[in-house]
Structure 1
């Protein structure tokens, strides 16, 4: 199925082709994606309405998150992700649990590549969302993760964070495998809390300014 202009632009932001602060030009996007300017214009208007894009004078740029927005996003994400893990412990099929385990095992081979690990991380979390078997929760988490695309670099590049994150992933999967919903939710919350703490530490190291960091759980 051919992707529409909205999805193409959103995917490009999610993949880091366009990062916070980058200017998006209608004609350049139309040429890049091989579509006409009208659907690009409509897609840009939709993304601006969703606060994925912001105005800089007459230009549209990829939006960024300030410190308060980041904190608010993590609060919501922690609760929704914890619920997904809790439901996955109840509803996930054995095959889904094996897929999650295989992801962790494969991701350990990417510890020297933070960007690849970050992409793998997104796939892992999305798989937990799907394992919850709750379409409405998946939809809400998709919106949250869309906002996470407005973060520009990965804290998985911090020494030791990648390995620690995978150990945290393992604790989550172990609890899901055991059918322990409370433990799965607790492990997921702890995982996101540690990731947020890493992000705040990075922020403080950059002269106390609000950092713009990519999804790194």
Structure 2
């Protein structure tokens, strides 16, 4: 059975998320239609939707991938920390044994990715998404999806900072350990601390205080 075809919106969003299109890049209907093999009408509708969600911005008559200024970045991390912390707390209460096992396996498997920032970034997204789903709260998952779409507007991953990948995995391990123990308070605190450390690393990357591996 063939997998369903992705719509134009999903294709463009994934390209932004994977860094194919970076902040400031100009998106042209005809180029996108040719790239993805679809007509210009769904591309146009997708671009309008992405602009409404503030993932694209106007530059004269052109649409470009939006970027986040310092204040927007800080606001995003505040919201992300609180929502992610809530997701971890709920996961500690409601995750099935199978979901907890998947989280533990992710931490163990991701050790092999240390030193590859892009692979680690993809694995990191999968890990956080699994926690969102393990919260068993559909409304929280929807809000976190919106937050993570905005995270795609960052030109680089904080996991590109020297040593951050190993630290992040240790933090993931602590989060999963709390979920395994069904300790909702500690799980929430651990995930909020994890996001806070990621934000500090990003600020240091942006200021040039720490070295990037990419």
SS in 2 for 1:55: strand
Q: Deviations over 1:176-200 (max 9, x none)?
A: 0000000000000110011101111
SS in 2 for 1:61: strand
Stretches of structure 2 lacking an aligned partner (at least 5 in a row): none
- The alpha-carbon deviation at position 204 of structure 1 amounts to 2.0
Q: Deviations over 1:75-124 (max 9, x none)?
A: 00000000000000000111111100111111110011010000000000
Residue number in structure 1 paired with 2:199:
196
TM-score when normalising by structure 2: 0.95
Q: Distance in 2 between matches of 1:43 and 1:157?
A: 30
Residue number in structure 1 paired with 2:117:
114
Query: What are the equivalent positions in structure 2 for 1:122-201 lying under 5 Å apart?
Result: 122-201=125-204
Residue number in structure 1 paired with 2:97:
94
Corresponding residue pairs, total: 207
Q: Deviations over 1:143-164 (max 9, x none)?
A: 0000000011122121211000
Superposition CA RMSD, Å: 1.1
Q: Distance in 2 between matches of 1:203 and 1:5?
A: 32
Q: Distance in 1 between matches of 2:141 and 2:16?
A: 20
SS in 2 for 1:125: helix
Q: Distance in 1 between matches of 2:50 and 2:157?
A: 23
TM-score when normalising by structure 1: 0.93
Moved over 6 A (4+): none
